[in-house]
Amino acid sequence: MTTPRFPRITEEAVEELRRQIGMEVQDHFFVRVATEDAIRNFALGIGDPNPLWHDREYAKRTRWGSLLAPPTFLYATSRVASGYVGGLPGVHAMFAGSHFRWRQPIREGTRVSTRARLKDLVLRETRFAGRSIQQIYEVEFFDQEGQLLCVADSWCFRTERDTARERAKYGQSASPHVYTDDELRAIMEDYEREVVRGAEPRYWEDVQVGEELTPVVKGPMCPTTSIAFLLGWGGLYVRAHRFAFEQYRRHPALAIPNAQNVPEPPERVHWDSEMARLVGVPAAYDYGPERVSWMGHLMTNWVGDDGFLEELYVEIRYHNIMGDTTWCKGRVAAKEMGGGIPRVRCDIWAHNQDGIVTVRGYAVARLPSRQGGGGRP
């Protein structure tokens, strides 16, 4: 395939985009209603076995009284929160993080609507691609009664594809990891060690600062894991047949020819290693919202049915490339009883099989108290 040349970041394009800060932008959705099927498919896509998301009868017996969706299910209801950016056509967008602040759980039957706006543009110098633009959006999520469910900031780094490829300053191995049978057995054993707290309350009084969360393993990454996530989340630009060509007509910069000269969207960096190399990454890499959702999985496993994940802040620090395995981990950093509400704050991170930390962030959760209340918003 002939190496194409891509547009660069220009001062005029940045200023045009900057004028849109604070303005509401059109959002799109893959899922609008949190049906039983939509919830299950999202949970399967992120590999989360929590019965709160899968078993309606089990969920009815909890304090919530209904099936719930994983907190980051909201990605499926908002393309903007998932990394759908405007402006700078032909300049690559790499999802780099989210900051969720939940007010209510997402119950089965909830019909979600959103209000999105461009929040800020920040000029950055990155080791990966040199000059880049951090493009930050804020999305408010509402239920069918107009009640606020959540506010989330998400951000992408807009990078010049040619510059990233030519600089090739990438901090990870240039070739995907090849696993031995023993390594795969060890990963399976880590899967079996996963603990879903479930119906056993984790009381605030019993939590100790410094205690470790039970890790959650994900991977090894392969095209199948990307497809599984897409089945529950929906993708940004994945269209087929007539709908694909209509999309390319509206947005020509999305139409990047493959080896057969057939246009495909830049989203194929998540399963097409050749395309990933064109943007400066050595192999296909995972979806950022997928990894944020893994960190949410880590937390909901730990807080149990009676807790409530209130806040999740995740920075994507390195790509998770084809063949990588990710271990999601955490540690209790602080606990407080503010306004009678028992909360804990956890530092969270994830590393791959080479020990490279690919995610950093924190989470805040309400826990039940032995003195009564606390976990439910």
Question: What was the pLDDT predicted at 170?
Answer: 47
Local confidence band at 15 (pLDDT 50, 70, 90 cut-offs): confident
- What pLDDT was estimated at residue 343? 97
What confidence tier does 303 reach under pLDDT thresholds 50, 70, 90? very high
- What's 63's DSSP letter? T
What does the pLDDT look like over 115-132, one tens digit per residue? 999 999 998 776 655 678
Would you kindly state where each structural domain of the chain is located, as residue ranges? 11-366
C-alpha dihedral sign at 231, 236, 242, 245: negative
- Whether the pLDDT of residue 263 is over 90: the answer is yes
pTM of the model: 0.92
| 167 pLDDT above the threshold of 90 | no
pLDDT digit string, tens, across residues 54-71: 999 999 999 999 999 999
DSSP string, 210-251: TPBPPPEEE----HHHHHHHHHHH--SS---HHHHHHHHHH-
pLDDT of residue 162: 59
What are 277-289's pLDDT values in tens digits? 888 888 999 999 9
- Tens of pLDDT, residue by residue over 216-260, are 999 999 999 999 999 999 999 999 999 999 999 999 989 999 999
Fold of 11-366: Thiol Ester Dehydrase; Chain A (3.10.129)
Q: What is the mean pLDDT of the chain?
A: 92
Strands (E), the chain: 24-25, 92-102, 113-126, 130-142, 148-159, 216-218, 256-257, 263-264, 308-316, 326-338, 341-352, 357-366
Count of Cβ atoms closer than 10 Å to residue 357 Cβ: 12
More confident residue, 124 or 215: 215
pLDDT band at 26 (very low <50, low <70, confident <90, very high): very high
Residue 83 has pLDDT above 60, yes or no: yes
Q: How far apart are CA 377 and CA 373, in angstroms?
A: 10
Contact 26, 85 (CB under 8 A): no
Share of the chain above pLDDT 90, in %: 79
